[in-house]
Amino acid sequence: MMKVYAVLGDPISHSKSPAMHNAAFGALGMPCTYHAFRVRPSDLKDAIYGAKALGFGGLNLTIPLKEDALKYVEPDPIAARIGAVNTIDFADGITGHNTDGIGAMHALEDAGVPVAGRNILIIGAGGAARAIAFQFGYSGGDIVIANRTKERADRLARDVRGGLSELGKTPSIESIGLGAIPEKIADADILINATSIGMHPNIDATPVPAGLLRPGLAVFDIVYNPRRTRLLLEAEQKGATIVEGVRMLVHQGAEAFLIWTGREPPVDVMVEAVVRELR
């Protein structure tokens, strides 16, 4: 019998998840199929419980459903403290997970860049920055969060510090405004753009001037359309190690695949499927 999986969101037509997961299921010869459904926040509870009742294998969630889902699932410790769920598993009740942070970490590991013990400068204080800061702080990175509105960076730093302390972690978390980036980037090992700056169609925008980039710095942009943002192109020209957002997109999906199926996901197949979709 065919097992069904899905991603829910509003809007959802842009999602690359169906291509990515269906390619993975096909490569492993699994009798599974993955679809995208538009679901409004007011219908989320019914959608989750309906998918469970219909025997779905699992769900992914995207904007604007990740935070609301906490009301309807049993979140794991990281998802609970991040305050957002992007993966739901039905194997044992209705459990919620957040794979965004671990996806970002695996993307860096693909490039030979470890997180533990590194100085990490994250630009942005939204949902993606939140997941990355929690995961990287949990994994032993020293975090600096930079945001246009410093109060949002302050609030996120407090949340991460408090949430991880409940898990027995004592992370180094600092918050700054954008004006302090030139000073802090000099000590950074990893720079992460966790904003939408540089996303299509605004491809000429960049969150960091090229003059601040250098060899020895790892530059990771979560934007995946275009694959090579202006930030990544300029970082490569400066001799920095670059990490494309496609890698995070795939690895967060691969982690969900592992949660649902217990099988090692074919990451390269998933990357190829996403790249084809982006073309």
Residue 55 has a CB neighbour count (10 Å cut-off) of 10
Length of the chain: 279
| Predicted local distance difference test score (pLDDT) of residue 139 | 95
Max alpha carbon distance in the chain (Å)? 58
Question: How many whole angstroms separate alpha carbon 276 and alpha carbon 119?
Answer: 34
Give the start-to-end residue ranges of the domains of the chain: 3-98+247-278, 102-243
Name the stretches of the chain with pLDDT < 70: none
| Predicted local distance difference test score (pLDDT) of residue 279 | 84
Model pLDDT for residues 241-277, shown as the tens digit of each residue: 999 999 999 999 999 999 999 999 999 999 999 999 9
| Predicted local distance difference test score (pLDDT) of residue 159 | 95
| Catalytic center residues | 66
CATH topology of domain 3-98+247-278: Rossmann fold (3.40.50)
- Contact by Cβ (8 Å): 146, 181: yes
| Predicted local distance difference test score (pLDDT) of residue 40 | 97
* Domain 3-98+247-278 matches domain 102-243 at the CATH topology level: yes
Q: What is the dihedral of CA 114, 220, 78, 98, to 10 degrees?
A: -130
| Predicted local distance difference test score (pLDDT) of residue 1 | 82
Burial of 232 (0-12, 13-18, 19+ CB in 10 A): buried
Instruction: Identify which of 217, 205, 267 has the alpha carbon closest to the alpha carbon of residue 242.
Output: 217
CATH architecture of residue range(s) 102-243: 3-Layer(aba) Sandwich (3.40)
Question: How many whole angstroms separate alpha carbon 122 and alpha carbon 36?
Answer: 30
At 36 the three-state DSSP class reads strand
